[in-house]
Amino acid sequence: MKDPIDSALSRREFVQAASAGALAAAAPALVHAASSSGAADKAAVLARIPAMHAENLKRLQEWIALPSIAAENRNFLQGPEHMAALARQAGFADVKLIPTSGKPGVFGHLDAGARTTVAVYFMYDVKQFVPEEWSSPPLEGRLVQKEGLGAVCMGRGAVNQKGPQNSFLSALLAFKATGRRLPVNLVLVCEGEEEIGSPHFGQIVETPEVLARLKSCVGVLLPEAAQQQDGSIQIELGAKGVVELELVSSGEKWGRGPQKDVHSSLEAQVDSPSWHLVQALNTLVEKDGHTPAVEGFFEHAKPLTPAQQQMISTYAATVPEAVMKKELGVQRWVHDLNWQDSLLRLYSQPTINIEGLVGGYTGPGGKTVLPHKAVAKIDMRLVPDMTLTDTLAKLKAHLARHGFADIEVNMTGGYDPTQSDPDSKFIKALLASYRKLGTAPIALPRSPGSWPGYRFTSAPLNLPACGFGLGNGTGAHAPDEYYLIDSTSPAVRGLDGAVASFVECLYALT
């Protein structure tokens, strides 16, 4: 996914370092866990999975070989057509492409005659990649041995999200292969622009046919590889919203300063759009260089509930601060907070961040120019009940009020916060599935990163939406991305275990 996986990775990596193997003893054999449900159907389906291992892996490798990259306009329409074919093969009916102003979505449903209907969110696109940076060809999905972990499938999209999605489809194929009916009905909603911020996902969800089907659902499941290398699992009950934008100060829009780069000696005679930008930026945070100072920024920011705070306390106790600090290269948390308070901030506070500064001469050494333009790349993270629209309007009003109405605010992407009710049947069922599978998930109020789940969790759908899936992988957006196939670790599940976890989950959701 665009954003949450990146951020989660930073945190995941220290968990594994700190407590690898801690949960291993608690993990019973899958088949044992499954058979204890007493459902003969489920046992038959689960028993079938190992025999399908080779075809399930091959399907993943073939999918990795076809990268759809929205930012590069790569493999459209091949990507969505392939996605549609995979969905049909897995048993979805009425599978079709949903046109948008951008890349098409894919939609389908699987009516099993069950009482309960569950939506599944897929993405068929992947992040850009630079083959030279990889130790294994990124489109081959080769099996590579990882010390202490086992054989992993390495390739772009392996964990983000083709691997977990393929495992979910493999679970459906196991039902099909054994002639068993699914215990729930399914609605598949898939987009192809997740990696560029899902700019047209709203058009997919709002397509009447899609919306009608979604309204029948109890929740939205995102297949993922949720296990750290130590087997631990954090389940994030939402995500911050995000607004990405550029603040552009230019002589042209300002009506002061030059309209092209001029010699820097002219700074004595001519205004500087760069200083203008610096002064505008300076108004956006308090003296602490951190707290957003945009008027009304916190107006709709809900504090964490005591229950949410408790989740973070529980989580904080499982994660060694020193390892986290080392991993991030950080000596002190903001405001010199202690570990737990810093995590409370991480999960509760909306932010204004400078992603990048670009102005004038950016090469080595100096160049005596007075630049006509300077740009700050900004992201703002939003917590419930802040919205993109309201926050953007507040930023613009703030700039105008402080004398910077000329500074362009060019939004490049974003979405509202996502929040799912931990007391909903859907979330409870997912947590129960994890426990039944022998893991002890730690719930967190939300991801500090962002994903466009608000399309599900906000009106008109108001559905809980949450990731689920055993298995392990890492490297989303990075080289050497992988998804674990044959686990040699007792703590984490490979491909077959991941497929089985989805079977378990589907029964838990009935």
- By CB under 8 A, the residues from 230 to 289 that bind a copy of itself are 240, 242, 244-246, 251, 255-260, 262-272, 274-279, 281-282, 285, 287, 289
Residue type, 209: E
Distance, CA of 215 to CA of 207 (rounded, Å) = 12
Q: Does 178 bind a copy of itself (CB under 8 A)?
A: no
Give me the residues paired with residue 190 across strands. 106, 122
Distance, CA of 419 to CA of 241 (rounded, Å) = 10
- Beta carbon nearer to a copy of itself, 63 or 254: 254
Q: Are 68 and 104 in contact (CB under 8 A)?
A: no
Q: Are 131 and 138 in contact (CB under 8 A)?
A: yes
Distance, CA of 223 to CA of 163 (rounded, Å) = 9
- Beta carbon nearer to a copy of itself, 13 or 111: 13
Residue 386 tokens, joined? 């802040």
User: Using CB under 8 A, which residues numbered 1 to 40 contact a copy of itself?
Assistant: 2-3, 6-7, 9-10
224, 230, 379, 416: residue in contact with a copy of itself (rule CB under 8 A): 379
Q: Does 385 bind a copy of itself (CB under 8 A)?
A: no
Burial of 370 (0-12, 13-18, 19+ CB in 10 A): buried
User: Using CB under 8 A, which residues numbered 181 to 220 contact a copy of itself?
Assistant: none
**From the CB of 390, what's the least distance to a copy of itself, in Å?**
19
Q: Does 481 bind a copy of itself (CB under 8 A)?
A: no
The site map against a copy of itself for 450-479 (x = CB under 8 A) is x-----------------------------
Distance, CA of 392 to CA of 258 (rounded, Å) = 28
User: Using CB under 8 A, which residues numbered 322 to 351 contact a copy of itself?
Assistant: 328-334, 342-343, 345-351
Q: Are 493 and 171 in contact (CB under 8 A)?
A: no
- Beta carbon nearer to a copy of itself, 209 or 286: 286
User: Using CB under 8 A, which residues numbered 111 to 140 contact a copy of itself?
Assistant: none
Give me the residues paired with residue 376 across strands. 247, 357
Q: Does 413 bind a copy of itself (CB under 8 A)?
A: yes
**From the CB of 230, what's the least distance to a copy of itself, in Å?**
21
**From the CB of 259, what's the least distance to a copy of itself, in Å?**
3
* Cα pseudo-dihedral 269, 275, 280, 283, rounded to 10: -120
- Beta carbon nearer to a copy of itself, 352 or 498: 352
Q: Are 265 and 426 in contact (CB under 8 A)?
A: no
Q: Does 354 bind a copy of itself (CB under 8 A)?
A: yes
